[in-house]
Amino acid sequence: MTAVATPRFVHVLERGDNLALPPLLLLHGTGGDEHDLLPLGRMVTPGATLISPRGQVLENGMPRFFHRLAEGVFDEADLRRRTDDLASFVQVVQAEQGLPAPIALGFSNGANIAASLLLHHPGLLRGAALLRAMMPYREPPAARLDGTPVLLLSGAADPIVPAANSAALAALLQGGGAAVTHQSLPVGHGLSQMDVGLLRQWLGSIQGMR
């Protein structure tokens, strides 16, 4: 396992020993990096290949995947451009490594760009687990998601993501045809053991699907 530089992203590629499992695309939250979610990825899908890029934006020295204007207010033009960059990165890694479509596992800022990937690049992801995600666009694009499985885990006491916002994201994805599982947990913005258990259960339910 080594962190390497590509033309677009510093990232970790950790080859799994079970190539029958879809790879996980790990997308960290604000202040994380390419190593941040590796332990979670290994925990919820032992043996899977892990692809973990570092966000290219710095906010007060903290890596993010796209710029924001204020907390909860995104620079949507930048989000769209960086979503396209991330999609290109995923396609390059797939081609170079001979990998199938990954399942995104994103937390907070990483979950938001994963939601943007679903909307702007349907078919790129095998599925997506969105932990503490919020609606990425004020006027989101229509997307045909054709049964793409999506797990959305919200925190009932989350001070950053209002319950109505995460519910709107779930409705948007479901309206586009995604198979959405949305649960509100009795936690805040941080991750919990409940997230781990639900992630493991959800991933196990979809990894054998074709």
CA angle 7, 9, 15 (to 5 degrees): 105
The yes-or-no answer on residue 166 being catalytic is: no
CA angle 89, 73, 153 (to 5 degrees): 70
The pair of three-digit structure tokens given for residue 181, joined into one six-digit string: 């599982």
Among 52, 158, 166, 195, the active-site one is 158
The pair of three-digit structure tokens given for residue 194, joined into one six-digit string: 């409940």
Among 88, 184, 189, 192, the active-site one is 189
Taking each helix axis from N to C end, the angle separating 109-120 and 76-97, rounded to the nearest 10 degrees, works out to 80
Residue 22 and residue 105 in contact, taking contact as beta carbons nearer than 8 Å? no
Longest CA span, the chain: 43
Among 108, 116, 154, 166, the active-site one is 108
Residue matched to tokens 């503490």: 132
Residue 54 and residue 11 in contact, taking contact as beta carbons nearer than 8 Å? yes
Show Cβ contacts of residue 70 under 8 Å, excluding neighbours closer than 6 positions: none
The pair of three-digit structure tokens given for residue 116, joined into one six-digit string: 């943007």
Q: Is 177 left (phi over 0), alpha (psi -120 to 50) or beta?
A: left
Task: Give the residue numbers marked as catalytic.
Answer: 108, 158, 189
